[in-house]
Amino acid sequence: MKKTTTSFYDILGISSATFCLVHCLIFPVLTILPLGLIHNPIIDLIFASFGLFAIIKIIKKSSLLVSSILVVSMSLIWISILSEIMFEMHLELIYFGGIGMIIGHLLNYNWHKKQNH
């Protein structure tokens, strides 16, 4: 099987989106416990930056469907993060964006995997 750089970016994107989604789902539960943890949107910004880097590399070589899913998902994530930083308002868009990123990267990864066989 021939490896491509796109599959590397898909794996990076899948990993980043999965870690981000797990972080977003589990962290609110951890803040309830008296551990002294507070939410820092900079962590979300770091995950989003990795994801943005990955999708910029991927959308040039992917299908219109995958590109659309990734761009819309990344937009939802950035809107959510920036609204939290600027207005201190948490939007649930980040969850839908994270799920969309995972789906988009998995579709692209499987499409490239089929092409290389």
Average pLDDT rounded to a whole number, residues 79-105 = 88
Those residues with Cβ within 8 angstroms of residue 6's Cβ, 6 or more apart along the chain or in another chain: 57, 58, 61, 62, 108, 112
Predicted pLDDT of residue 1:
44
Token pair for residue 110? 């499987």
pLDDT per position as a tens digit, 5-53: 567 777 877 787 787 777 777 776 766 666 665 667 887 788 788 778 8
Predicted pLDDT of residue 68:
94
26 vs 2 pLDDT, higher one: 26
Predicted pLDDT of residue 30:
67
Query: Given the structure tokens 């990734």, which residue do they identify?
Result: 70
pLDDT per position as a tens digit, 46-85: 878 877 887 888 888 888 999 999 999 999 999 999 998 9
Residue 98 has pLDDT above 90, yes or no: no
**Radius of gyration (Cα) for the chain, nearest Å?**
15
Predicted pLDDT of residue 82:
93
CB-based contact 52:44 (threshold 8 Å): no
Query: Given the structure tokens 């998995």, which residue do they identify?
Result: 106
* Separation of alpha carbons 94 and 38, rounded Å: 18
86 vs 28 pLDDT, higher one: 86
